[in-house]
């Protein structure tokens, strides 16, 4: 059976929840990706594994950011909370740009060290989900979910 | 009761094999009927308004023995049960129901339990009888339908059970699963849906025959039933596949305990007909409602997990991971999103000019795909191409890009713009589809001049995946007039042999090398090498991702004239190309590389800096015993920096204070380098590392000094954006 006995695995907890189910479900996917990277990635891992993980991250960026930005639009977030919305979308673009950059580096023969990639994902999880996304979630919940 | 009392008739007719034999005809119609009724096997009874039998034919005794009034609900030794299993007593009896309601009661299937006899099934009809408009009594018929019912029940059992093991089959499992899911949802207590497949069962069948295999399956079923708890279900769902529903799992440990016991029980050797049969089991498990899908999907998920258990080495259980599954489906949805975007016309081509920086001439354009995402705005290919690279979606996108580029080429030609247009084609397109066939189709639909303006750009690593096929494709494609380029050159093996076989027209130097060549001597060496290869094989070379004037000057100096990048022109929509061409004037700075004006000195300093850095890198590599780089020159006068310093440098900067400091630093670097090469890291690590760091420190001082001179004295301010190159702003 699959028991990933690793000290640093992130266990989803209620404090991560934004209150918007659709967003929370997708956040669990990022936690899953992070945990997988944590469990499987080493500095000697194959390029294929790094390629697969970063591709998953690009994929995540595509559907997850669409979900969030569609919700923002539907709930008038950019008009009601201009600065928050601006910052939020900036963080989305920066995430994609960073992943693309990591892939470019890999292509040129410079693979990102395991810890650097994990630190990036961890920071993203903490800064973005626990701050930026929760602000959006609270806003949507306060307006009343559709 | 009014009217004639029915009398028990004399037995004057018999039922024989030929049918009813009437031995005596009473002469009247009623008598004849009575005679006939008395013989048939259906029990016919007449009841009065008090529920007492008035008449019963011979079959009544055969069916009910000495208790003919069972049908009117009289308490008896035998038990008669209604269709719903309730006892047929008093008011609920068929006779009394008819007496109370006055309506016909038909097709009552009843069960008769008689001590010492197998259960019998009866089909009962009861009719009210009216005389002169008044209810006068009841007629009942009772037929023994035991054999029919048992056949039906047998069929029903077979429809829900597996005859070999008597376990529930798929149909009954589906029922039980529905019930268990509803229960779990009501109580909030999870349940496990498991699929168990025997490991090594096929070998048992092959070695010992099906009979032994069947017996083994029966024993497996028995062992499973012995382990699971009362409300759990064990079903046989395939040859050697069983499903288990473990309900009311108060904790994950409870489920795992049962599963571990099952594994142990399966791994205990079985013995059939004296044959020891070693098998084991692989079990896939999914937990409801954590995995909150419908019954079919639960079974499918358990099945997927079972395959994982097999893959992981058998004799184990594996839990389905709903988040992983969601992740896979979400990834799939991203690909579908791209397909939808292509259908909706959300993809566009932008065109980025390629310029010959020596002549100032525009050579061509590279077509770059952009996705105008309805929510996320303009997305760059680096964000979405990787998602479809391994999917057939990339073929659709590639074909769309070629058709669109050719359409644009023809539109431009009509306006008098004749430029070569490069289109990127993926590895999958080259290796999977009938790409040559597609090119031939394009050739038949477009004018030859248009096709001659088309250049297909293949990433070097993709070409190497199957060099024979790609080499053939290039040869045949060029016969159609199409040009070919190797893109991202330098990221593959970049071998001379490959280049000889791939008859491409152009090599495009990957932009990561261009971005770093001014900082990283190794990258500079790669760029130099590629330019050399291109020249040796008479192929055009194009540098991609050129962003700064320094890069342009350096490339010109190295002999690469055609360039593309933000530093020259950004990608633009097709309609902007015409106006851009009309406005375009070459940057006079490019002339720096080929004119002896004083400002050219700036470029000299740049080259000197790169030269020294490369020298230090080689010394460090050699000292550490790393191969791959040529041996550095020891003499401080004949190294690249030395030649510049004592030659042109001396003439231009000889009087400056910084310049004499340069000599000091340079000679110190050579001195340290020499000592480093003579020292041995194994014998004196501390000394070695000390020399290393002092050499690097000296190098840095020398570079700072050169940079100071560049920033200080020049008439032409060359933008030094080198330190902040947007390195990753890859192929827009």
- Annotate B680-717 with DSSP letters as a single string: -TTT-HHHHHHHHHHHHHHHHHHHHHHHHHHHHH-SS-
Look at B84 and B148; give whichever has higher pLDDT: B148
A115 reaches B (C-beta below 8 A): no
Confidence class for position B18, pLDDT limits 50, 70, 90: low
End-to-end CA distance of chain B: 106
Closest CA to B279 of B352, B196, B366: B196
pLDDT tens profile B418-441:
999 999 999 888 887 789 999 999
B330–A60 C-beta distance less than 8 A: yes
**Measured between CB atoms, which of B319, B387, B730 is closest to A2?**
B319
CA dihedral defined by B556, B557, B560, B561, rounded to 10 degrees? 30
The H or E element containing residue B6 is none
How far is the C-alpha of B121 from the C-alpha of A77, rounded, in Å? Answer: 73
Helix orientation angle between B170-187 and B295-311, rounded to the nearest 10 degrees? 100
* Strand pairing category for B362-373 and B377-379: antiparallel
The per-residue pLDDT for B720 is 35
Residues of A in contact with B730 (CB under 8 A): 100-101, 104
How far is the C-alpha of B425 from the C-alpha of B395, rounded, in Å? Answer: 9
Closest CA to A89 of A66, A123, A122: A66
pLDDT at B727 over 50: no
DSSP-derived secondary structure letter, B592: G
Q: How many CB atoms lie within 10 A of CB B630?
A: 9
Mean pLDDT of chain A: 87
Phi, psi of B421 (to 5 degrees): -120, 125
pLDDT tens profile B483-510:
999 998 888 777 888 888 889 999 999 9
* Mean pLDDT in residue range B195-218: 93
Nearest CA in chain B to A102: B728
Total count of residues recorded for chain B: 732
The per-residue pLDDT for B489 is 87
Question: Distance of alpha carbon B226 from its chain centroid, rounded?
Answer: 39
Map residue B418 onto helix, strand or coil.
coil
A66–B387 C-beta distance less than 8 A: no
CA distance A36 to chain B (A): 10
The per-residue pLDDT for B33 is 78
Residues of A in contact with B379 (CB under 8 A): 62, 96
pLDDT at B722 over 60: no
CB proximity list for A24: less than 8 A, separation 6 or greater? A16, A17, A18
How far is the C-alpha of B503 from the C-alpha of B484, rounded, in Å? Answer: 8
Which tokens hold the place of B91?
Answer: 């008011």
Share of chain B above pLDDT 90, in %: 54
Tell me the β-bridge partners of B138: B47, B128
Phi, psi of B422 (to 5 degrees): -90, 135
Mean pLDDT of chain B: 86
Lowest mean pLDDT among A32-41, B152-161, B557-566, B621-630: B621-630
* Mean pLDDT in residue range A118-124: 91
pLDDT at B7 over 60: no
Confidence class for position B148, pLDDT limits 50, 70, 90: very high
B371 reaches A (C-beta below 8 A): no
Confidence class for position B724, pLDDT limits 50, 70, 90: very low
CB proximity list for A83: less than 8 A, separation 6 or greater? none
Confidence class for position B113, pLDDT limits 50, 70, 90: very high
B332 reaches A (C-beta below 8 A): no
Phi, psi of B107 (to 5 degrees): 55, 40
How far is the C-alpha of B591 from the C-alpha of B599, rounded, in Å? Answer: 10
CA-CA-CA-CA torsion sign (A74, A79, A82, A84): negative
How far is the C-alpha of B422 from the C-alpha of B408, rounded, in Å? Answer: 12
Confidence class for position A90, pLDDT limits 50, 70, 90: very high
B337–A66 C-beta distance less than 8 A: yes
Phi, psi of B537 (to 5 degrees): -95, 10
The per-residue pLDDT for A110 is 81
How far is the C-alpha of B303 from the C-alpha of B194, rounded, in Å? Answer: 8
pLDDT tens profile B651-677:
878 877 788 889 999 999 999 999 998
pLDDT tens profile B38-68:
888 899 999 999 999 999 998 999 999 999 9
A28–B318 C-beta distance less than 8 A: no
B337–A62 C-beta distance less than 8 A: yes
A62–B384 C-beta distance less than 8 A: yes
**pTM to 2 decimals?**
0.64
The per-residue pLDDT for B245 is 96
The per-residue pLDDT for B609 is 78
CA distance A77 to chain B (A): 14
CB proximity list for A69: less than 8 A, separation 6 or greater? A89, A92, B375, B376
Map residue B263 onto helix, strand or coil.
helix
How far is the C-alpha of B617 from the C-alpha of B629, rounded, in Å? Answer: 9
A91 reaches B (C-beta below 8 A): no
Question: Is B591 within 8 Å of B707 (Cβ atoms)?
Answer: no
* Mean pLDDT in residue range B203-229: 93
Long-range contacts of B440-445 (CB under 8 A, 24+ apart): B440/B480, B442/B402, B442/B403, B442/B406, B443/B480, B443/B481
pLDDT at B328 over 70: yes
The per-residue pLDDT for B628 is 53
B520 reaches A (C-beta below 8 A): no
Residues of B in contact with A88 (CB under 8 A): none
How far is the C-alpha of B411 from the C-alpha of B631, rounded, in Å? Answer: 55
The per-residue pLDDT for B309 is 95
Nearest CA in chain A to B389: A55
The per-residue pLDDT for B641 is 87
How far is the C-alpha of B392 from the C-alpha of B382, rounded, in Å? Answer: 18
pLDDT at B179 over 90: yes
How far is the C-alpha of A15 from the C-alpha of B722, rounded, in Å? Answer: 44
CA dihedral defined by B662, B665, B670, B676, rounded to 10 degrees? -160
User: What are the percentages of helix, strand and coil residues in chain A, rounded to 5?
Assistant: 75, 0, 25
* Mean pLDDT in residue range B302-317: 94
Which tokens hold the place of B409?
Answer: 């080429």
pLDDT at B12 over 70: no
A73–B491 C-beta distance less than 8 A: no
A2, A28, A40: which to substitute to probe chain B, counting the most B Cβ within 10 Å?
A: A2
Tell me the β-bridge partners of B355: B362, B563
pLDDT at B627 over 60: no
pLDDT at B382 over 90: yes
The per-residue pLDDT for B26 is 55
Nearest CA in chain A to B325: A29
* Strand pairing category for B280-288 and B347-356: unpaired
The per-residue pLDDT for B16 is 65
pLDDT at A132 over 50: yes
Closest CA to A120 of A55, A38, A22, A65: A38
* Mean pLDDT in residue range B462-468: 85
pLDDT at A16 over 50: yes
Share of chain B above pLDDT 70, in %: 90
pLDDT at A20 over 60: yes
B326 reaches A (C-beta below 8 A): yes
pLDDT at B344 over 90: yes
Q: Strand locations in A1-146, DSSP E?
A: none
Map residue B545 onto helix, strand or coil.
coil
pLDDT tens profile B225-276:
999 988 999 999 999 999 999 999 988 788 888 999 999 999 998 988 888 8
**Measured between CB atoms, which of B321, B323, B728 is closest to A100?**
B728
pLDDT at B713 over 70: no
With 0-12 / 13-18 / 19 or more C-beta atoms within 10 angstroms meaning exposed / middle / buried, residue B561 is buried
Confidence class for position B592, pLDDT limits 50, 70, 90: low
User: What are the percentages of helix, strand and coil residues in chain B, rounded to 5?
Assistant: 50, 20, 30
Phi, psi of A46 (to 5 degrees): -70, 155
How far is the C-alpha of B710 from the C-alpha of B718, rounded, in Å? Answer: 9
How far is the C-alpha of B475 from the C-alpha of B214, rounded, in Å? Answer: 62
CA-CA-CA-CA torsion sign (B83, B89, B95, B100): negative
A109–B386 C-beta distance less than 8 A: no
Closest CA to A6 of A39, A49, A34: A39
Q: Which residues 28-57 of A are in CB contact (within 8 Å) with B? A: 28-29, 31-33, 51, 54-56
CB proximity list for B226: less than 8 A, separation 6 or greater? B265
């Amino acid at each position: 059976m699959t028991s990933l006995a690793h000290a640093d695995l992130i266990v989803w907890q209620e404090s991560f929840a934004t209150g918007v189910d659709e967003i929370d479900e997708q956040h669990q996917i990022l936690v899953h990706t992070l945990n997988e990277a944590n469990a499987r990635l080493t500095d000697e891992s194959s390029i294929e594994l790094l390629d697969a993980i970063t591709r998953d991250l690009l994929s995540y960026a595509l559907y997850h950011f669409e979900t969030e930005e569609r919700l923002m639009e539907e709930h008038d977030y950019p008009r009601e909370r201009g600065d928050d919305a601006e910052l939020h979308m900036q963080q989305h673009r920066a995430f994609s740009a960073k992943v693309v950059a990591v892939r470019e580096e890999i292509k040129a023969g410079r693979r990102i060290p395991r810890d650097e990639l994990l630190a990036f994902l961890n920071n993203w999880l903490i800064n973005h989900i626990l701050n930026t996304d929760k602000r959006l979630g609270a806003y949507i919940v306060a307006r009343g979910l559709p | 009761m009014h009217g004639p009392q029915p009398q028990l008739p004399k037995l004057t007719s018999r039922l024989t094999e030929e049918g009813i034999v009437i031995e005596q005809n009473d002469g009247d119609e009623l008598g004849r009927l009575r005679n006939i009724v008395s013989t048939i096997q259906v029990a016919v009874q007449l009841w009065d308004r008090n529920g007492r039998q008035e008449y019963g034919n011979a079959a009544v005794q055969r069916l009910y023995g000495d208790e003919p009034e069972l049908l009117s609900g009289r308490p008896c030794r035998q038990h008669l049960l209604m269709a719903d299993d309730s006892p047929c007593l008093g008011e609920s009896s068929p006779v009394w129901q008819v007496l109370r309601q006055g309506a016909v009661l038909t097709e009552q299937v009843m069960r008769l339990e008689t001590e010492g006899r197998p259960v019998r099934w009866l089909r009962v009809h009861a009719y009210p009888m009216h005389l002169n408009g008044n209810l006068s009594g009841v007629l009942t018929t009772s037929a023994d339908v035991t054999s029919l019912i048992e056949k039906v029940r047998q069929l029903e059992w077979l429809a829900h059970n597996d005859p070999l093991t008597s376990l529930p089959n798929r149909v009954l499992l589906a029922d039980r699963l529905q019930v268990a899911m509803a229960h779990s949802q009501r109580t909030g207590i999870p349940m496990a849906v498991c699929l168990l497949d025997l490991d090594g069962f096929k070998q048992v069948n092959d070695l010992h025959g099906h009979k032994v295999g069947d017996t083994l399956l029966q024993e497996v079923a028995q062992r499973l039933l012995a382990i699971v708890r009362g409300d759990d279900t064990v079903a046989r769902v395939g040859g050697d596949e069983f499903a288990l529903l473990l309900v009311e799992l108060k904790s994950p440990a409870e489920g795992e305990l049962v599963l571990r016991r099952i594994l142990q029980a399966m791994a205990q050797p079985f013995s059939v007909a004296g044959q020891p049969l070693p098998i084991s089991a692989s079990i896939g498990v999914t937990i409801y409602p954590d995995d909150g899908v419908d019954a079919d999907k639960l079974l499918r998920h358990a099945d997927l997990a079972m395959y994982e258990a097999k893959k992981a080495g058998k004799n184990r259980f594996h839990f389905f991971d709903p988040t992983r599954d969601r992740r896979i489906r979400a990834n799939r949805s991203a690909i579908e999103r791209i397909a939808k975007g292509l259908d909706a016309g959300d993809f566009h081509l932008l065109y980025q000019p390629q310029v010959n920086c020596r002549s100032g001439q525009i050579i061509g354009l590279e077509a770059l795909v952009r996705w105008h995402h309805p929510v996320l705005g303009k997305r760059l290919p680096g964000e979405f191409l990787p998602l479809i690279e391994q999917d057939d979606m990339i073929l659709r996108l590639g074909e769309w890009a070629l058709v669109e580029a050719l359409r644009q080429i023809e539109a431009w030609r009509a306006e008098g713009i004749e430029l070569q247009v490069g289109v990127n084609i993926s590895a999958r397109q080259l290796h999977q589809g009938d790409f040559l066939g597609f090119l031939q189709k394009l050739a038949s639909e477009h004018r030859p001049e248009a096709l001659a303006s088309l250049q297909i750009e293949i990433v070097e690593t993709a070409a190497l995946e199957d060099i024979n096929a790609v080499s053939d494709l290039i040869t045949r494609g060029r016969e159609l007039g199409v040009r070919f380029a190797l893109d991202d050159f330098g990221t593959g093996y970049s071998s001379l042999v490959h280049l000889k076989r791939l008859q491409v027209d152009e090599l495009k130097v990957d932009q990561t090398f261009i971005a770093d060549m001014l900082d990283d001597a190794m990258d500079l060496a790669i760029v130099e090498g590629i330019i050399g290869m291109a020249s040796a094989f008479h192929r055009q070379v194009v540098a991609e991702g050129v962003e700064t004037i320094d890069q342009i000057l350096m490339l010109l100096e190295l002999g690469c004239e055609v360039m593309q990048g933000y530093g020259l022109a950004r990608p633009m929509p097709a309609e902007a190309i015409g106006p851009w061409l009309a406005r375009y004037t070459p940057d006079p700075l490019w002339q720096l590389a080929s004119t002896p004006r004083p400002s050219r000195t700036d470029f000299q300093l740049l080259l000197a800096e790169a030269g020294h850095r490369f020298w230090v890198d080689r010394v460090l590599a050699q000292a550490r015993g790393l191969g791959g780089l040529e041996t550095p020159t020891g003499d401080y006068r004949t190294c690249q920096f030395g030649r510049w310093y004592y030659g042109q440098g001396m003439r231009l900067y000889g009087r400056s204070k910084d310049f004499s400091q340069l000599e000091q630093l340079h000679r110190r670097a050579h001195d340290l380098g020499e000592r480093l090469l003579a020292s041995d890291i194994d014998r004196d690590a501390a000394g070695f590392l000390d020399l290393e760091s002092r050499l690097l420190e000296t190098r840095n001082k020398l570079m700072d000094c050169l940079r100071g001179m560049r920033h200080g004295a020049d008439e032409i301010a060359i933008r030094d954006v080198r330190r902040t190159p947007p390195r990753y702003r890859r192929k827009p």
